[in-house]
Amino acid sequence: MSNEQKNTSQQIALMEKDLRYIAANIKEQGRKILKNYSITPPQFRALQWLLEYGDMTIGDLSNKIFLAFSTTTDLVDRMENNQLVKRVRDDKDRRVVRVHLLPKGERIIEEAIQKRQEYLQDVLKNYDAKEMQQFSSLLTKLHEEMTRD
Residue 3 is assigned to a structural domain of this protein: no
pLDDT in tens, 136-149: 999 999 999 999 97
> What's residue 3's pLDDT?
81
Residue 96 is assigned to a structural domain of this protein: yes
Residue 20 is assigned to a structural domain of this protein: no
Instruction: Name the nearest CA neighbour of 142 among 15, 29, 14, 30.
Output: 15
Residue 73 is assigned to a structural domain of this protein: yes
Domain extent, residue 143, equals 38-147
> What's residue 60's pLDDT?
96
CATH of the domain at 100: 1.10.10.10
> What's residue 91's pLDDT?
86
> What's residue 82's pLDDT?
96
> What's residue 77's pLDDT?
97
pTM score of the predicted model: 0.81
**Total tally of structural domains belonging to the chain:** 1
> What's residue 90's pLDDT?
86
pLDDT in tens, 37-53: 989 999 999 999 999 99
Residue 135 is assigned to a structural domain of this protein: yes
With a cut of 50, list the residues of the chain below it in pLDDT.
none
